[in-house]
């Protein structure tokens, strides 16, 4: 779906979408349309229950007096509440309703909104972003899908008074959308296609954009003493990998970077502590954290962010086999700390232990943020509306929460506190990989914290938000890429040179 911006002239064909404010006057375009069709628009609104409320819509097919195939009136809500997120939901809603209606083209009219703090150009840029994000579809393996089941809309024109200004504002947003699409693709691919080496190849391909990408194999990781990560991968036929992506966009290329670390378990069977069969296929997206890091690094490179950033992803496949690690095994991590593996299904923290240590030791980052589909317990706590946020630094936690709220990827802070640390004490080693008692997500975070020295650190448990079971305003059901937009926003707001 190609998105462009054009001057607000009423289109001759295709579908047309226009916003209607709740309890406000018709916007300029809506008033023009109403006149062109002899008042049909006002009459249609009066004859229906459509009041311009958010998420309400009214479809007029083949409206007399107009040459467009259909006119969709989409509620914008109250003018003063029309912000970037509302504009994105509006663009997403337009695509959701019309992408498969039969038209090849669609135009979305965006006017200035009285009461909104955003200009028409800024609203148009966010409408375009919402349309783009919602148009995502992973259909490469549907070979027998009929043409009339596939989206018909190929082109979307966002109509606005100052298309040049809108286009300029959209450029960095489009870069982020491209990052989101890569993340969604990677998480959607099955585990026979995306495994540690093929995922590392996907990271390497980003070198074309100016990222420096290095990949460490098992031999190099062994030298570095990464017994925790390697133990998880030892039951798999696939070789474990650690990929490092670097973007040096700051004026001082040597300045300490911000670091992102992702859990990349390309398939999590649970290992010897085998998971039940029901829904085990979901564990293809247990590399969701790594996919976010890779998509984020792509976005930063595409929009040439003025920041130094590193992304590190630990890539392993957790399989049961004759070479797999056993419950009770003791492994030595790169930090030197030993871990008793009580449950081979608590593998993500083992991977992150070495990835976090390596990142911190090698790059001395300003801050380190990890993302992981780490615990089922976070789904019990927060469901799918918020990701869990754990941090050793209040300022970083606040910045992350604010960035998440700004882009609609919400975080809820959970405790990181010493009493929970006692729950992972082991009789035989420095710690064990599962906690006694409750608070499974917190004890997992406490485990990670043992591999952080004094770097400001945050951990996002994204197990509940990585895969959407229902359509969202800008996310069709499936891989959400939750975290890409959030962390891009964090970088823009807090770490980029202005
Ligand atoms: N990848 C899972 C967590 C998960 C569960 C992600 C559901 C997405 C959806 C993780 O590796 C895991 O298996 N965690 C265990 C830990 C337990 C054994 C301490 C869990 O949450 O059950
Ligand atoms: Mn597991
Ligand atoms: Zn896992």
Segment 125-146, tens digit of pLDDT? 999 999 999 999 999 999 999 9
Q: What is the pLDDT of residues 175-226, one digit of tens each?
A: 999 999 999 999 999 999 999 999 999 999 999 999 999 999 999 999 999 9
Q: How far is CA 88 from CA 99, 122, 138, 172, in A?
A: 16, 11, 21, 15
Tell me where in the chain the CATH 3.40.220.10 domain(s) lie.
Answer: 2-161
Q: What is the pLDDT of residues 344-360, one digit of tens each?
A: 999 999 999 999 999 99
Q: What is the mean pLDDT of the chain?
A: 97
Look up 275 and say whether it is catalytic: yes
Q: Active-site residue among 167, 284, 349, 450?
A: 349
Is the pLDDT at 72 greater than 90? The verdict is yes
Residue 135, classed as helix, strand or coil, is coil
The whole-angstrom separation of Cα 145 and Cα 16 is: 27
Q: What is the pLDDT of residues 293-348, one digit of tens each?
A: 999 999 999 999 999 999 999 999 999 999 999 999 999 999 999 999 999 999 99
Supply φ then ψ for residue 202, to 5 degrees: -60, -40
Atom of ligand 1 nearest to the CA of 270: 13
Beta carbons of 137 and 181 less than 8 angstroms apart? no
Atom of ligand 1 nearest to the CA of 283: 1
Predicted confidence at residue 23, as pLDDT, reads 87
pLDDT band of residue 156 (cuts 50, 70, 90) is: very high
Predicted confidence at residue 24, as pLDDT, reads 82
Predicted confidence at residue 90, as pLDDT, reads 98
Work out the average pLDDT over 92-99. Answer: 97
Ligand 1: residues with CB < 6 A are 268, 282, 286, 343, 345-348, 373-377, 434, 440, 463
Atom of ligand 1 nearest to the CA of 435: 19
The ligand placed nearest to the CA atom of residue 444 is: 1
Is the pTM higher than 0.85? The answer reads yes
Ligand 1 atom 7, closest CA:
376
Predicted confidence at residue 10, as pLDDT, reads 87
Work out the average pLDDT over 90-117. Answer: 96
Beta carbons of 261 and 347 less than 8 angstroms apart? no
- CA 45, distance to chain mean position in Å, is 37
Compute the distance from residue 286 Cα to the ligand 2 centre, in Å.
8
Q: Provide the pairing of β-strand 57-61 with 70-77.
A: antiparallel
Ligand 1 atom 8, closest CA:
463
DSSP of 184-238, one letter per residue? HHHHHS-TTTS-HHHHHHHHHGGGGGT-EEEEE-HHHHHHTT-HHHHHHHTTSSS
Burial group, residue 417, by CB count within 10 angstroms (0-12, 13-18, 19+): exposed
The ligand placed nearest to the CA atom of residue 462 is: 1
pLDDT band of residue 497 (cuts 50, 70, 90) is: confident
DSSP state of 441: H
Q: Does domain 176-495 have CATH number 3.40.50.2000?
A: no
Tell me where in the chain the CATH 3.40.630.10 domain(s) lie.
Answer: 176-495
Atom of ligand 1 nearest to the CA of 265: 1
Predicted confidence at residue 8, as pLDDT, reads 80
Beta carbons of 238 and 196 less than 8 angstroms apart? yes
pLDDT band of residue 9 (cuts 50, 70, 90) is: confident
Work out the average pLDDT over 398-405. Answer: 98
The whole-angstrom separation of Cα 72 and Cα 116 is: 22
Q: Domain 2-161 maps to which CATH number in 1.10.300.10, 3.40.220.10, 3.40.30.10, 3.30.300.30?
A: 3.40.220.10
- With the most atoms of ligand 1 within 8 angstroms of its CB, the residue from 375, 380, 464 to mutate is 375
Work out the average pLDDT over 466-479. Answer: 98
Compute the distance from residue 229 Cα to the ligand 3 centre, in Å.
12
Predicted confidence at residue 449, as pLDDT, reads 98
Predicted confidence at residue 428, as pLDDT, reads 98
Query: Cα(first)–Cα(last) distance of the chain, in Å?
Result: 32
- CA 248, distance to chain mean position in Å, is 22
Predicted confidence at residue 25, as pLDDT, reads 86
Q: What is the pLDDT of residues 411-465, one digit of tens each?
A: 999 999 999 999 999 999 999 999 999 999 999 999 999 999 999 999 999 999 9
Predicted confidence at residue 7, as pLDDT, reads 94
7-21, 301-315, 419-433, 482-496 — which is least confidently predicted? Answer: 7-21
- With the most atoms of ligand 1 within 8 angstroms of its CB, the residue from 232, 345, 439, 445 to mutate is 345
Is the pLDDT at 409 greater than 80? The verdict is yes
The ligand placed nearest to the CA atom of residue 374 is: 1
Structure tokens at 208: 């074309």
């Amino acid at each position: 779906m190609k998105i462009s911006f054009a001057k607000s002239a009423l289109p001759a064909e295709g579908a047309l979408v226009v916003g209607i404010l709740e309890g406000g006057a018709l916007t300029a375009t809506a008033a023009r349309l109403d006149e062109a069709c002899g008042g049909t628009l006002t009459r249609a609104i009066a004859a229906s229950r459509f009041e311009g409320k958010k998420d309400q819509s009214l479809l007029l097919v083949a409206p007399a007096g107009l040459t467009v195939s259909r006119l969709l009136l989409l509620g914008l809500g109250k003018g003063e509440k029309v912000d970037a997120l509302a504009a994105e939901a509006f663009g997403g809603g337009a695509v959701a309703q019309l992408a498969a209606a039969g038209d090849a083209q669609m135009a979305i009219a965006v006017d200035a909104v009285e009461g909104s703090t955003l200009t028409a150009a800024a609203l148009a840029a966010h409408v375009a972003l919402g349309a783009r994000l919602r148009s995502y579809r992973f259909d490469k393996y549907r070979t027998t899908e009929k043409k009339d089941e596939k989206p018909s809309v190929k082109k979307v024109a966002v109509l606005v008074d100052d298309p040049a200004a809108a286009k300029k504002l959209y450029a960095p947003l489009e870069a982020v959308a491209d990052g989101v699409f890569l993340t969604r693709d990677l998480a959607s691919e099955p585990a026979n296609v995306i495994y540690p080496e093929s995922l590392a190849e996907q990271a390497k391909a980003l070198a074309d954009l100016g990222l420096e990408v290095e990949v460490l194999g098992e031999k190099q990781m062994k030298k570095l003493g990464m017994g925790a990560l390697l133990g998880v991968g030892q039951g798999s036929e696939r070789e474990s990998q650690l990929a490092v992506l670097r973007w040096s966009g700051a004026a001082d290329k040597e300045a300490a970077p911000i670091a992102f670390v992702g859990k990349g378990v390309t398939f999590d069977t649970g290992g010897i502590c085998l998971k039940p069969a029901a829904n085990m296929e979901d564990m293809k997206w247990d590399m969701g954290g790594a996919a976010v890091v890779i998509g984020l690094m792509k976005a930063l490179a595409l929009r040439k962010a003025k920041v130094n950033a590193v992304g590190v992803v630990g890539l392993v496949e957790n399989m049961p086999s004759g070479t797999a690690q056993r419950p009770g095994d003791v492994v030595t991590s790169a930090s030197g700390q030993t871990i008793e593996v009580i449950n081979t299904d608590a593998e993500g923290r083992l991977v992150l232990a070495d990835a976090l240590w390596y990142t911190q030791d090698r790059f001395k980052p300003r801050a380190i943020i990890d993302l992981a589909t780490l615990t089922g317990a976070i789904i019990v706590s927060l469901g799918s509306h918020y990701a869990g946020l754990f941090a050793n630094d209040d300022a970083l936690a606040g910045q992350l929460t604010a960035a998440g709220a700004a882009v609609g990827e919400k975080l809820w802070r959970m405790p990181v506190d010493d009493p929970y640390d006692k729950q992972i004490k082991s009789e035989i080693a420095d710690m064990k990989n599962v906690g006694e008692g409750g608070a499974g997500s917190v004890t997992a975070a406490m485990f990670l914290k043992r591999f952080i020295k004094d770097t400001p650190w945050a951990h996002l448990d994204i197990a509940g938000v990585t895969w959407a079971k229902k359509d969202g305003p800008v996310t069709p059901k499936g891989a959400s890429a939750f975290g890409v937009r959030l962390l891009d926003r964090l970088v823009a707001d807090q770490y980029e040179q202005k």
